[in-house]
Amino acid sequence: MAGWQGFAAFARPGFPLWGRHDFQVLSCNLPGHGRPVALVNVGATAGIRRDRFVVLFLVMLTAAAGNTAMQSVMPTIGRALDIPDFWVSLAYSWSALLWVMLAPYWARQSDRRGRKPLMLLGTMGFITSMATCGLILWAGLAGLMLPATTFIIFAIARSLYGGFGSASPPAVQAYVAARTDRENRTAALSVIASSFGLGTIIGPALAPSFVLPVVGLAGPLLVFAGIGIAVWLSVYFLLPNDTPRHKARGSIASEPSIGGFSGASAIASDDEEDEEGRSGERLRWRDPRIAPWLLIGVLGGHGHAAILGVIGFLVIDRLGLPLNEAQQAIGIVLMASAGATLLAQWGLIPQMKVAPKRLVMWGFLLGAAGCMLTATLTTLHGLTLGFAIASLGMGLFRPGFTSGASLAVSRAEQGQVAGMVASVNGMAFIAAPAIGVLIYGAWMPLPFLLCGALFLLLTVWAGFRLEEE
């Protein structure tokens, strides 16, 4: 839910890019919370210069936009190379697995090695991965390499993003948290977290424009590699070495994915807060307070990841367009999907002011309706509408389960439950996209029909098992 806060601050005239003051006051009650969250005066008192804050924002934005741009063109590239859909989706799973495994390690390393070096490392991992993948795919599409060889090298290069790209988000968040006063920290981190969400819209929207005459479908990867180089140079020359005002550790973000799912959080901690809210007991996954929320997150997250992994292939097959035209249609569907997800998180949630349980139930109902429409409609308009409705539902469900798990435990246990939620979000993208594509191979509408039925069952289960907060 932090994303809408960040967007609201970003959209105000006082955002650092153009205003005299850094942030004007904006206050709103979050669902399930009794007190308002205010966005006030971040840049003026946070100890971060405007140009440096913009650089930090761009580090996150570029990583998300580049990854989602690549995800949006890969179904078309896979078909052009005659690579089975399952192997294309498996490349995402491999990267997501590495991200989940290594993100906690990089979060710890940012405390020891410094935040700027970890940002440089993560951005360089992004650049190297995108450039290598782009060049290899260009060679394969041009007939200079065998399709199988092309895809094997692509999968290896893709691992650089999951393995090293995951170093940037916690380093950026820790950098901001270490230089902001406590009263301004949530607002500043909300803006940073919103960059991932914006990236999931920008990436698929720009990808068709970067399909260039010489490099073709590999163009988006190469263009974002170039953008990454500019961001890396900005970090190197504009950000000072670590001189933090407070010790802090950034939260672990899931790998950004198409459909508006960013996995970024506005939560970070400092030593003072840890001392005040430290729990002596380890929080268990089977703890009855959080187990229903985590289970609903796992099941719903896997359903969401499955339809995200399939939608690009469905657009190609359902519309029957030539591959060069299909990419435009995929971009439209994914941009609408991401926009619907972020509309839910940034617009509807603060206006609805309902409890997490209701968010989850409404989210699943909309998700089920959207899946059924996507499974049956046959036009670009119909696919766009159906998948946008499903994504709107997922945009309600994910913040609902996250806030429900958070509200179920004490302040001293917030750090532990945040780590569990991050794991739940990340694990959904390891196997579910590939499983969804396998089911898709049996019958095109089947993944959406099954996920729609799953969401309906979860709606009923949530009504009986989730506690009202």
Distance (Å, rounded) from C-alpha 54 to C-alpha 61? 10
Distance (Å, rounded) from C-alpha 118 to C-alpha 130? 18
Q: List the structure tokens of 426.
A: 């990340």
**Contact yes or no for 39/25 (Cβ under 8 A):** yes
**Contact yes or no for 240/179 (Cβ under 8 A):** no
Strands (E) in 24-81, as ranges, are 26-29, 36-39
pLDDT tens-digit readout, 435-448: 999 999 999 999 99
DSSP letter for each residue of 335-402: HHHHHHHHHIIIIIHHHH---HHHHHHHHHHHHHHHHHHHHH--SHHHHHHHHHHHHHHHHHHHHHHH
Identify the CATH number of the domain defined by range 47-267: 1.20.1250.20
Question: Would you state the pLDDT for residue 412?
Answer: 82
Q: List the structure tokens of 441.
A: 């191979």
| Stretch (H or E) spanning 104 | helix 85-113
Distance (Å, rounded) from C-alpha 34 to C-alpha 142? 59
Domain positions in the chain: 47-267, 288-468
Given a cut of 50, the residues of the chain with pLDDT beneath it are: 1-46, 266, 268-269, 271-272, 274-278
| Stretch (H or E) spanning 268 | strand 268-270
Question: Would you state the pLDDT for residue 56?
Answer: 96
List CB contacts of 149: < 8 A, sequence separation 6 or more.
140
List CB contacts of 279: < 8 A, sequence separation 6 or more.
410, 412, 413, 416
Question: Would you state the pLDDT for residue 112?
Answer: 80
What's the N-to-C CA distance of the chain in angstroms?
A: 16
Instruction: Say which DSSP state 216 is in.
Output: B
Question: Would you state the pLDDT for residue 4?
Answer: 38
440: number of CA atoms within 13 Å, CB side?
25
**Contact yes or no for 277/412 (Cβ under 8 A):** yes
At the fourth CATH level, the homologous superfamily of domain 288-468 is: MFS general substrate transporter like domains (1.20.1250.20)
Q: How far is CA 243 from CA 59, 176, 248, 266, in A?
A: 19, 11, 12, 21
**Count of Cβ atoms closer than 10 Å to residue 44 Cβ:** 14
CA 209 to mean position of chain CA atoms: 22
| Stretch (H or E) spanning 111 | helix 85-113
Say what the pTM is: 0.85
**Contact yes or no for 78/437 (Cβ under 8 A):** no
| Helix, coil or strand: residue 37 | strand
**Contact yes or no for 68/256 (Cβ under 8 A):** yes
